Amino acid sequence: MAFVGKVWKVLVGIKDALVLIFMLLFFLALFSILSATPNPGQVREGALEINLSGFVVEERSLIDPFAALVSGEAPPTEYQARDIVRALDSAASDDRIKAVVIDMSAFLGGGQVHLQAIGEAMDRVRAAEKPVLAYALAYGDDQMLLASHASEVWADPLGGALIAGPGGSILFYKDLIENLNINARIYRVGEFKSAVEPYERTSLSEPARQNIESLYGALWEEWQANVKKARPKADLDRVTGDAVAWVEASSGDLAEAALDAGLVDKLGNRVEFGERVAEIAGENRWDDGPGTYAKSDLGPFLADTAPSTSGKKIGVVTVAGTIIDGEAGPGTAGGTRIADVLDNALDDDLAGLVVRVDSPGGSVTASEEIRRAILRYKAKDIPVAVSFANIAASGGYWVATAGDRIFAQPETITGSIGVFAVLPTFENAIGQIGVDADGFRTTPLSGQPDIVGGLTPETDAIFQATITDTYSDFLDRVAKARGISKDKADELGQGRVYDGGTARQLKLIDQFGGLQDALEWVAGQANLEEGGWSPVYLGAQEDSYDSLIRQLLASDADSTPRGADLFARAAMGQQLLVSRVAADLERLSGAQGIQAYCLECPTQPSPQGAASNRTWLSVVKALFVD
């Protein structure tokens, strides 16, 4: 009995120890979550510091905690453009905020429409007689578009600025596919529908080249006009006309060259910049380290300045990222997920609906699923507006045909009315390794589609007929939505991509304006008085573990990369290149249906999509295994 008693005491001790350990872990996790959540109590008198250490996007993606913990690193941070604009507008009228600091040392970019909207909000802060100071080691196109709206632009003496303009290489895989003996069967409609050209050509076709030159030329003109208006002292003609002569005039010192050309106002390190901010916003009473100043961070400030939710509600649903079938997202436009979000709010007594689109398109079936869900709102006889952000092309425009009025900006990329499908077959590849295919068919369609043995001519013809019919459906929707003939819709279609200005001239959009303009139009149509309504973002959810995951994976107290000079920024492009290659191969090898997707549209600046965290190994795997 004495022995049993001792064993019992040991077991009780183990049990108590385990309970204590689990309690400690529980309270540690609870403390981490609470400390990771923005605290309005952290807002202090001084500067509002907006540290853009990542991408500006329309809709923030959720971190996959398992993938992040396995990889050992969290993906770059994403900042919703509307949150930054709201913070700036709040700062303009908040007596606690003496200045705004935009730190772009680790800023990775954003869409032109988003950046212009943020720049205009910076102008409103300056109009309230509050200085806006920008700082970065190196300024590229996106950084300069924002910085041009600042009162003072600072650059590190080891950095500088370099303006490149839109454009770049598109990868073509025709020779690779032929070397692997893969038969990439292409089905498409539209002379300008170039999304399939990487699989069937080694260079751009002439129609595609003309289209992309026109599009990027218009975007470049808008970029220059916006920067020159915001920063007249900047000598852009010198910087972009003969970049080599401009840099050599400063003996290769990009910082001095940027200062000489008026791109930046002052050169100084981070401490010197901080001392300048402290002169305006005050000293930091909680930290007397070099270069510190009184400040409030973006997260706590947003939590402390939550927008009003009074009055009638106008719903806002976001269609951001590639449109795919299923439940994917946020950050990716899963058709089923977005349709469910809309249906769940169908009985919420909304006064109207705004559909915010920032997508290069994708699955036709998913686009139609979203469109039908929007039509269920129109059936309730409430106004429906569509607001285009950076990109609303192909499937993004398909979705827009359900709206009553379309708003866009001159920098918006839209159109690309056309469809395609790609189906790889491997009859040649299996023969090369000694495998043959044979069998018996009762009809020409028996066993079809056969990606190993190949397609019959009848199957091939049916697939192309299906694509042609889908394009006809697309034209029907465009013609009805825009009040034009189907022939006119076809003339505007054929896969052509347009900038917002051209799209307005062609009446593919109704008027220039942002999300706020679309909301105000809906309010007017619903006979709502000013101040008598507020937007509600359907399906929006706060990610409670995003900050916690970043804290767990941070290597030190401040994990923001600071050494992003021009060479480092060039190296960062490798990740986006891998992402683009993986997405291209996914369209070739993945289980996808008919696509309405835009090749000319710039790669979406979100690294957290389905193909974003892939390595070169996974790209190779897509070729040989997927």
| 571-588 mean pLDDT | 64
Residue 599 placed within a domain: no
Q: Which of the two residues, 170 and 270, has the higher pLDDT score?
A: 270
Residue 591 placed within a domain: no
Among 140-144, 165-169, 226-230, 610-614, where is mean pLDDT lowest?
610-614
Predicted pLDDT of residue 61: 86
Number of H helices, E strands in the chain: 24, 23
Q: Are residues 505 and 408 in the same domain?
A: yes
Predicted pLDDT of residue 93: 94
Residue 186 placed within a domain: no
Side-chain half-sphere exposure of 544, counting CA atoms within 13 A:
6
Residue 606 placed within a domain: no
φ and ψ at residue 102, rounded to 5 degrees: -110, 105
pLDDT beyond 60 at 465: yes
Q: Average pLDDT of the chain?
A: 84
pLDDT beyond 80 at 399: yes
Give CA 101 to chain center in angstroms: 23
pLDDT of 270-317, one tens digit each? 999 999 999 999 988 877 788 899 999 998 999 888 887 889 999 999
Query: Any idea what the CATH number is for the domain that residue 337 is in?
Result: 3.90.226.10
Give the residue among 317, 424, 419 at the shortest CA–CA distance from 362.
419
Side-chain half-sphere exposure of 454, counting CA atoms within 13 A:
14
Q: What is the CA radius of gyration of the chain?
A: 27
Domain stop point among 492, 510, 537 = 537
**Residue located via tokens 């650059």:** 155
Query: SS3 helix, strand, coil % of the chain, rounded to 5?
Result: 45, 20, 35
CB 189 within 8 A of CB 471: yes
Residue 341 placed within a domain: yes
Q: Are residues 29 and 89 in the same domain?
A: no
Q: Are residues 66 and 7 in the same domain?
A: no
Cα 172 to Cα 199: distance, rounded to the nearest angstrom? 6
Instruction: Provide the 3-class DSSP secondary structure of residue 390.
Output: strand
Q: Are residues 58 and 122 in the same domain?
A: yes
Q: Are residues 417 and 489 in the same domain?
A: yes
Q: Are residues 520 and 469 in the same domain?
A: yes
Q: Which of the two residues, 142 and 623, has the higher pLDDT score?
A: 142
Within 8 A by CB and 6+ apart from 418, the residues are 188, 189, 190, 192, 193, 394, 471, 474, 493, 494, 495, 596
Q: Are residues 410 and 477 in the same domain?
A: yes
Among 53-62, 196-205, 584-593, where is mean pLDDT lowest?
584-593
Q: Are residues 30 and 60 in the same domain?
A: no
φ and ψ at residue 79, rounded to 5 degrees: -120, 125
Q: Are residues 475 and 327 in the same domain?
A: yes
Among 165-169, 315-319, 473-477, 616-620, where is mean pLDDT lowest?
616-620
Give the residue among 596, 590, 595 at the shortest CA–CA distance from 610.
590
CA angle in degrees (0–180, nearest 5) for 466-468-486 = 135
The DSSP symbol for 75 reads P
Residue numbers of the domain that contains 491? 312-537
H or E stretch at 3: helix 2-36
Residue type, 122: M
Predicted pLDDT of residue 561: 47
CB 369 within 8 A of CB 337: no
Predicted pLDDT of residue 158: 92
Cα 250 to Cα 246: distance, rounded to the nearest angstrom? 7
In DSSP terms, 276 is beta-bridged to: none
H or E stretch at 50: strand 46-51
Predicted pLDDT of residue 622: 38
Quote the number of domains for the chain.
Answer: 3
pTM: 0.85
pLDDT of 51-99, one tens digit each? 998 899 999 887 766 666 666 666 788 999 999 999 999 999 999 999 9
pLDDT of 492-546, one tens digit each? 999 899 999 999 999 999 999 999 999 999 999 999 998 899 999 998 766 555 6
The DSSP symbol for 195 reads G
Q: Are residues 141 and 263 in the same domain?
A: yes
Cα 322 to Cα 604: distance, rounded to the nearest angstrom? 9
CB 100 within 8 A of CB 128: no
Q: Which of the two residues, 305 and 5, has the higher pLDDT score?
A: 305
